[in-house]
Chains A and B, each alone.
Chain A
């Protein structure tokens, strides 16, 4: 299928795509997300930062233990308190912090492994693709510290000049009380 034809079909939405085209997009997205995860685990933060669009949003709400009757209050909402409420500028500061030579929470550096699973394309809207993944982030620090964060991620990808970029990430942790000294790693 030609690129023009594909774009036309994608604009019509996910359901209108052929199985083969959906598989192509699935493969492309998975490879992109695996490469992105490898950049963080490989400490290539500056390269990772370049994957993000200038208007990006990176957000992790606070999750609470609530009863089923209060389940609509499980996560804080946009504009409420969060763990991360970042844009390109603040993500750039996080990377600059790690490169500063005095970011003690990452020196000695953590060893991280990002596992990205259950990749599902939720929607295709013009140039943008909504993707939901399950993730597991394992972190080993110093000799005895271990942290694990599992959760659901809602990523938004955009085709910019033919290349995929990240323009949004919502991180929904499964932990409520964060059982770690800090979250100095990138999700």
Chain B
């Protein structure tokens, strides 16, 4: 039976309900673990993947990657779910609903809550909220590196590790003191967990609003130099190189890298064997700082000058474009894309950062930085695939096996591919369909996105997490 017909059988399903039977026939399957993709069929029974069948020859005719695609459920290493402390912007319940809508079945929450997630009690609150939401999405969490994320004193890393965090970070603050970073890498390395750093030298970004370049100069916005990210990454790598001599298990993950310079440093560090991984966001791949001037071209289609190339179709200074790190010029976006292609970037992470309109319906300089990215991540990446800039298999890998490897066994999921007999974690999406991003269409509460009004390729039809229904397209 075709995927469409199989999905119809679920019409009456409730979120959280175990999938009794799901027959996906004649769809394009992508398995990032085995590396195999092609026409296939997949059967789920009582929440478990019962059978995966790859179709060959005549049977495979008429099935192509431009139609219905089935992938393992996506993994987001970096999402701000705002609860506890800022529930007006997002709650864990609405955040997980947004994740499911975006095809994510595993989400890692960031510890910049109020109170910060720097001791197991807060983690317990977060888990309780996830349970109460009834969502089957797997919610993991990072612990803070320092107490209160204040950057001065190590948090209870051991207790947090025992409680089950998947790593440590002070995001959205950098680990400013090199000595703290060094100690954290060593300590966490012995616990088998990575330090995740938001690489930013704040001395260079005080008051900064937009990437320090041509667009910011003309728009009169305070510049955010690429050097602020590059120098922080260089420092982090140097400290890591030092630490691994004593603690071979130390691991560093650099999140939301946005500059060509920083990605090149990671590329060389990996070639030299350093245990570093990194992720890029969908918005740093697809958008550029020209959007601040009113351009709405994808990064790979960007012209040379939004004031003369005709790409400025929207009003400038959209506060929804303010983000940390800032949107960069097309060359940096191209570097993020290239990093995904060659594997320098191990994963795509959304850095989902919702805000209420109080913080975003303001002048650009006062806008809270952040893009609600869980629901638009797939669409942005598929736009790159449609443009021939990124293979579909790489997108799936960057959203599943890539981040899965970084989670290193801390997820309930034993595999990030398709495994017969394992609970079903999968996403079914239709590449031949498109959807328009509107506040109503978004499940995220602080539905702030510069993509509102925009049509994106690919529509998520079904998300199954841990064998249970997470999202079904109406």
A binds B: no
